[in-house]
Amino acid sequence: MKAEIITIGDEILIGQIVDTNSAWMAEQLNLNGIEVYQVTSVHDDHEHILRAFADAESRADLILITGGLGPTKDDITKKALCDYFQCGMHRDEKTLQQVIERLSKRNVTINQLNKDQALVPDVCTVLQNSNGTAPGMWFEKDDTIFVSMPGVPFEMQGIMVEEVLPRLRKNGKLKSIYHQTVLVYGIPESMLAEQLDEWESALPSFVKLAYLPNQLMIRLRLSAYGNDMEELKALVDQKVRELEQLIPNNIFGYNNDTISGITGKLLQKTGSFVATAESCTGGNIAHLYTEIPGSSAYFRGGVVAYSNEVKMAALGVKPETLEAHGAVSRETALEMVQGVKKALNTDYGIATTGIAGPDGGSADKPVGTVWIAVSGKQETVVERFVFHHNRERNIQRSSQTALNMLRQLLISEMKSELK
């Protein structure tokens, strides 16, 4: 089954809001084995909407429409639907009762605009909106299903979950589908593609691989469509294990994992705590930990040592070290990581010192130069990197790289403990 999504409203086209509705609906449909063929965002314009309906019908079996409903929108979508299906409107009594109940709860006296929300095209099946006053509407034309929903995200989501998906399931329109996403770090996309080329071309036709790179990592998404869920699950999981064999050192997690979250789980396993000593990353690593609920179980705190005074006062970095090697150096990074472990009494530490840019670079220490040190119960690792991005991305890359170094240290220490 092929679906299309039509969002109606100027907000998206003037860039005032990001179209999160389409992403949510597309994900729901894909999770249920329905391929989304196109997403179209159109103006609050009658003719334009009718054209979008016709175009979509020529390509898709299921058309989900959001927006352009409700009093302030002048119910432009409803009028377009009546035109498209050549029918009139009538008042749906059940909907009217719900509008009255909902508004009286909020002590709002009902007016004509509210009453008109209960007007629905004659040929539609009304879908309950348990979160608002504008109902959803279900149309069937030949073999195509049209569904119109309000644009308010939680109202649309309620109607999708409570009404639309159950109906599609009942009509046997939902295929089985299984996804796994493998998170890859520390290898350029082109190199990864080369390494996986053979493996990828050997994938069965009903298994799709998507490369989803962002600034921090590459997400490899495996999707299998079919009828036997168990079979799909077994196959995709096996393919994931094959990937683990092919790029053992680049996979750091799965699905919605983050590097900070993964190190957090490893720390919790061993009952250890980590502390951060950040110069160039300026608190971003601490932020990446503390944005995780429950991170106080393994993140004790940190020092943002943005000036040399703080490096010395709070972390015990020696003046001679700063004098001899400078703040951006192996020696300073090492003293920072040892200092923060001592000061905050933790088994693990992360330290960063570098030049995020745009200024402050020199010939031997160009902008983007970062020294990162991570230290654990036995090992301490320090490494130099040179990132070639703008300030914001250099900070993000440095933070993720430092977290990944801690991840690798934690794993190697756990392995050596198992010996």
Among the listed ranges 5-13, 162-170, 244-252, 256-264, the one in contact with its own copies (CB under 8 A) is 5-13
Q: How far is the CB of 26 from its own copies (least distance, A)?
A: 3
Paired strand residues for 375: 349, 380
Q: Which of 393, 408, 411, 412 binds its own copies (CB under 8 A)?
A: 393
319 near its own copies, rule: CB under 8 A? no
Q: What part of residues 276-295 is at the interface with its own copies (CB under 8 A)? A: 276, 278, 280-287, 289-291, 293-295
Q: Is 190 in the site for its own copies (CB under 8 A)?
A: yes
Selected binder of its own copies within 228, 242, 379, 392 (CB under 8 A): 392
Of the candidate spans 11-19, 119-127, 167-175, 263-271, the one that interacts with its own copies by CB under 8 A turns out to be 11-19
Inter-axis angle of helices 330-344 and 308-315, nearest 10: 40
Asked if 56 and 189 count as a contact pair (C-beta separation under 8 A), the reply is no
User: Is position 30 an interface residue for its own copies (rule: CB under 8 A)?
Assistant: yes
Q: Binding segment for its own copies among 253-261, 264-272, 305-313, 371-379 (CB under 8 A)?
A: 305-313
- Residue 359 sits at φ, ψ, to 5 deg, of -105, 180
**Pick 210 or 414: Cβ nearer its own copies:** 210
Q: How far apart are the C-alpha atoms of 366 and 143, rounded to whole Å?
A: 63
CA–CA dist 332, 268 (Å, integer): 28
CA distance 274 to 337: 10
Percent of the chain that is helix, strand, coil (3-state, to 5): 45, 25, 30
Token duo for residue 260: 């900070």
Phi, psi for residue 226 in degrees, rounded to 5 = 175, -160
Q: Is the CB of residue 410 less than 8 Å from the CB of residue 348?
A: yes
Q: Which C-beta is closer to its own copies: that of 28 or that of 268?
A: 28
Q: Is 14 in the site for its own copies (CB under 8 A)?
A: yes
Nearest to 365 by CA among 387, 393, 389, 391: 387
State which residue, 302 or 349, has the beta carbon closest to its own copies. Answer: 302
Sequence-distant (6+) residues with CB within 8 A of 275 are 299, 300, 301, 302, 303, 340, 341, 343, 344, 346, 348, 349, 350
- What type of residue is 106? R
The verdict on 168 binding its own copies (CB under 8 A) reads no
215 is written with which tokens? 């600034």
Residue selected from 299, 337, 376, 410 as contacting its own copies according to rule CB under 8 A? 299
Of residues 215-244, which lie at the interface with its own copies (CB under 8 A)?
A: 215, 219, 221, 223
List 32, 71, 322, 381, residue binding its own copies (CB under 8 A): 71
Is there binding between residue 143 and its own copies (CB under 8 A)? no
Residue 180, both tokens: 């796994």
Choices 47-55, 83-91, 246-254, 329-337 (CB under 8 A): range interacting with its own copies: 47-55
Region near its own copies per CB under 8 A, out of 160-168, 255-263, 309-317, 411-419 = 309-317
Question: Of 46, 79, 233, 391, which lies in the binding site for its own copies, with binding defined by CB under 8 A?
Answer: 391
- Closer to its own copies by CB, 191 or 234: give it: 191
Stretch that binds its own copies, among 19-27, 85-93, 264-272, 405-413 (CB under 8 A): 19-27
Name which position in 54, 91, 171, 213 contacts its own copies (CB under 8 A): 213
306: contact with its own copies by CB under 8 A: yes
Give yes or no for residue 41 binding its own copies (CB under 8 A). Answer: yes
154 CB-contact burial (10 Å; exposed 0-12 / middle 13-18 / buried 19+)? exposed
